[in-house]
């Protein structure tokens, strides 16, 4: 079992578990590099990838690719209080651009 570089707040974990069936799915975090800059994509996937780091946080299974795992030590996933936001917020200095799908 891999040590988790990510913390999920109790409120965010409760909401994630209410919205998704984690008996078949996992929260996936991927590092993105593109013409718009760098960032991270967070999704709930029913068929998570086999590659990457696997761990559980607040009873939520998580899969992170190698780059996200290396760059997000100490990150916190929380609920985004901004009504125009995507519902969740990743708090970390490297998470300048984060999309939650």
List domains and CATH numbers for the chain.
Answer: 6-100 (2.60.300.12)
Sort 39 into a burial class: Cβ within 10 Å, 0-12 / 13-18 / 19+.
Answer: middle
Q: Output the CA–CA distances (angstroms, integers) from residue 75 to 6, 12, 21, 50, in the order listed.
A: 5, 13, 23, 22
Rounded to two decimals, the pTM is: 0.83
* pLDDT in 10s for each residue of the chain, 101 residues: 557 889 999 999 999 999 999 998 999 999 887 666 678 888 999 988 888 899 999 999 999 999 999 999 999 999 988 777 668 888 887 766 555 54
| Residue listed under structure tokens 């929380």 | 78
CB 26 within 8 A of CB 65: no
């Amino acid at each position: 079992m891999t040590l988790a570089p990510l913390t999920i707040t109790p409120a965010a974990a409760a909401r994630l578990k209410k919205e998704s069936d984690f008996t078949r799915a996992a929260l996936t975090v991927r590092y993105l590099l593109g013409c718009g800059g760098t960032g991270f994509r967070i999704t709930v996937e029913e068929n998570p990838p086999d590659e990457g780091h696997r761990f559980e946080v607040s009873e939520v299974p998580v899969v992170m690719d190698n780059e996200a795992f290396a760059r997000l030590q100490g990150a916190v996933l929380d609920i985004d209080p901004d009504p125009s936001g995507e519902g969740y917020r990743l708090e970390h200095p490297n998470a300048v651009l984060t999309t939650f799908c």
